[in-house]
Amino acid sequence: MSLFMERALKEAKLAAKRGEVPVGAVLVKNGKIIFADGNRTLELKDPTAHAEILVIRQAAQILENERLTDCDLYVTLEPCPMCAAAISFARIKRLYFGASDVKSGGVENGVNFYNNKTCHHAPEVYSGLSDVEAGKLLSDFFKQKRSE
């Protein structure tokens, strides 16, 4: 397992402890973690506070550039269409994600954003990293929520 995906999974677990959907993201440049976070939609009362968006926003501030070229993003779940668009707009070089999201994904499922002719930048996409562990985190979380 990649060190960066391990960190994304850690962020997802922390999100779950906060009662958030357990998704974690890590932005990396030149082999160094720039920023990592998990979902915070409930905490911030912000429907756009997905892990990917939070990490992109903070990394742009840290790197003082809205273009995150030569950066890689590791996410535990396939990004939704909103996050896929943000990844494109930030010009992120490579996207690595864990579990596929057949219902709400925007990369390999759903709108398949990067194959759309209106997409100006498509990152290299690598899916299935730690997908079993990432998927189990999500299924356990929702199983617990249904039993509450």
Residues annotated as catalytic (active site), given as ranges? 52
Closest residue by Cα to residue 97 from 21, 14, 2: 2
For residue 9, give the 3-state DSSP assignment. Answer: helix
Three-state SS letters, 67-129? CCCCEEEEEEECCCHHHHHHHHHCCCCEEEEEECCCCCCCCCCCCCHHHCCCCCCCCEEEECC
